[in-house]
């Protein structure tokens, strides 16, 4: 498919309670590649197969959660066009100067109806994946360090008015709805969860209806195979990383997964699999009474911690 407009998830800035503990965790246990520290003290990481300078940022804070998420667009013309569309939608935008984040160009930031800060940008320094641009090797040392996720895959965000988010993302930002979860019949079957893609992945971002704005459910890190998800689970066990769910398979997206907690209580996911949707496909619907299988297909269990704990 032609890739235009918004291309992919680009970065997420997480709040952590102890920066040095979190730096070691994401570098040595998760196995992200550390790429720098800026004047604000933020620590930068990327996945082993990501070419851009950064995708996960850590900031020392008094509470866990997410400050903002950013998505890369095709070029500066696309950035200008998308900003214009967001403003016409009725949402204010601001420009953040190039260099405010290490090796990252100018960003357009705005607040989603769910209360999350969302960014678009067109430029980030290409640092490569350590395998070379000519006659590259299939893998290198960073692909074997820790859990070694290949990239930042998606995030699931909780907040109010996901219907307005859906309208913004599908009508302005060029995403399309892949799957949805509808609520109980007695409530009129509202959409309580939506899974949106700007590519041919099952989701590049997802939202769940929640009364509190701006909440993080999880940041997802892509693994190249189910075997590597299971290896990540071994590493979690060896390092006493608390696990929320898994290893298991979702019914929603068909993804294979483990959810676990970082030292600050932020949930992260090691994820692989899923089918390959295209924009002309019909969205899949999960009813509330079957969502247990949507979440954890083998058991059909609605895990209380998964549904209720956010940062």
Domain covering 6-143, topology = 2,3-Dihydroxybiphenyl 1,2-Dioxygenase; domain 1 (3.10.180)
pTM > 0.95 = yes
pLDDT band at 302 (very low <50, low <70, confident <90, very high): confident
Which residue spans of the chain are classified as CATH 3.10.180.10?
A: 6-143, 151-308
Q: Class of the 151-308 domain?
A: alpha beta
Tell which residue, 267, 270, 120, has the closest CA to residue 208.
267
The catalytic residue positions are 154, 203, 218, 250, 259, 269
Q: pLDDT tens digits for 204-255?
A: 999 999 999 999 999 999 999 999 999 999 999 999 999 999 999 999 999 9
Say yes or no to pLDDT of 303 above 90.
no
Q: What is the DSSP letter of 289?
A: G
What does pLDDT average to over the chain?
Answer: 96
Give every CB contact of residue 94 below 8 A, 6+ residues apart in sequence.
Answer: 108, 109, 110
**Residue 84 confidence (pLDDT):** 98
């Amino acid at each position: 498919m032609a890739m235009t407009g918004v291309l992919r998830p680009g970065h997420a800035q997480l709040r952590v309670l102890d920066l040095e503990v979190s730096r070691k965790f994401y570098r040595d246990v998760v196995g992200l590649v550390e790429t720098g520290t800026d004047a604000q003290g933020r620590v930068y990481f990327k996945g082993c197969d990501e070419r851009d300078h950064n995708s996960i940022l850590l900031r020392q804070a008094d509470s866990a959660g997410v400050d903002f998420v950013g998505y890369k667009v095709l070029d500066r013309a696309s950035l200008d066009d998308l900003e214009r569309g967001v403003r016409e939608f009725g949402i204010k935008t601001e420009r953040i100067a190039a260099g405010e984040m290490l090796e990252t160009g100018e960003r357009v930031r705005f607040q989603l109806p769910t209360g999350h800060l969302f960014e678009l940008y067109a430029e980030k320094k290409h640092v490569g994946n350590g395998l070379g641009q000519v006659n590259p090797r299939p893998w290198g040392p960073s692909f074997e360090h820790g859990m070694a996720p290949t990239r930042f895959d998606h995030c699931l965000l909780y907040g109010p008015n996901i219907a307005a988010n859906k309208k913004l993302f599908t009508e302005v930002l060029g995403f399309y709805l892949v799957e949805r979860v509808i609520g109980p019949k007695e409530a009129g079957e509202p959409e309580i969860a939506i899974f949106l893609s700007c590519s041919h992945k099952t989701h590049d971002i997802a939202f769940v209806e929640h009364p509190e704005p701006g909440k993080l459910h999880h940041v997802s890190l892509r693994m190249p195979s189910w075997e590597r998800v299971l290896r990540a689970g071994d590493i979690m066990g060896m390092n006493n990383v608390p696990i929320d769910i898994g290893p298991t398979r979702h019914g929603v997206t068909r993804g294979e997964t483990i959810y676990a907690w970082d030292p600050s209580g932020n949930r992260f996911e090691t994820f692989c699999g899923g089918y390959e949707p295209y924009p002309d496909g019909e969205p899949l619907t999960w009813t509330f009474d079957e969502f247990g299988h949507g979440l954890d297909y083998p058991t059909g269990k609605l895990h209380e911690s998964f549904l209720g704990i956010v940062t």
